[in-house]
Chain A
């Protein structure tokens, strides 16, 4: 396979045009209702509460996935001579 840079650039340009036209063509019609309260800017506490109340099960599953993938990565990256 030989990479075709102009073709790739053309495809990416087309993709960008489609996404930008779609984003600008959509009427995000609640844009005037953005929260203006500066006290709402810090939300670390809210994220922590959400993770440990409403998203506990996905959080645990994700931790298991991360652990398994890291163990797999260590096994793959380890040389074959010292296994």
Chain B
């Protein structure tokens, strides 16, 4: 059995990669993909602790979290597509429509 700390380390690594991508990339699609990476690291933590405590509640939470991530990705990509259709740009640093 793999110890719990390896799962936690892998999840921390995945979350850090996602955080770095969100902080550095300007492309909106890449940022959404990095957010998905961070969500997946949280799901990995949920499943690891679920297996660690020998219960199944964490895995059910992971299923719910995956479904919410799917909804978030669908809305996010749709918003990006609408923005690209309106302004012909996807670079989030050049978009000023969400500022006041």
Please report A residues at the B interface, Cβ cutoff 8 Å: 1-3, 5, 8-9, 11-13, 15-16, 19-20, 23-24, 28, 30-31, 34-36, 40, 43, 46-47, 50-51, 55, 58-59, 62, 65-66, 69-70, 72-74, 76-77, 79
Cα of A56 to Cα of B64 in the assembled complex, Å = 12
Q: Is B78 within 8 A of A74, CB to CB?
A: yes
Please report B residues at the A interface, Cβ cutoff 8 Å: 1, 3-5, 8-9, 12-13, 15-16, 19-20, 23-26, 51-52, 54, 56-57, 59-60, 63-64, 67-68, 70-72, 74-75, 77-79, 81-82, 85, 93
Q: Is B60 within 8 A of A47, CB to CB?
A: yes
In the complex, how many residue pairs between chain A and chain B have their CB atoms under 8 Å apart?
A: 97
Chain A residues, Cβ within 8 Å of B78: 72-74, 76-77
Known: A23-B5, A23-B8, A76-B82. Is A55-B67 also a contact (CB below 8 A)? Answer: no
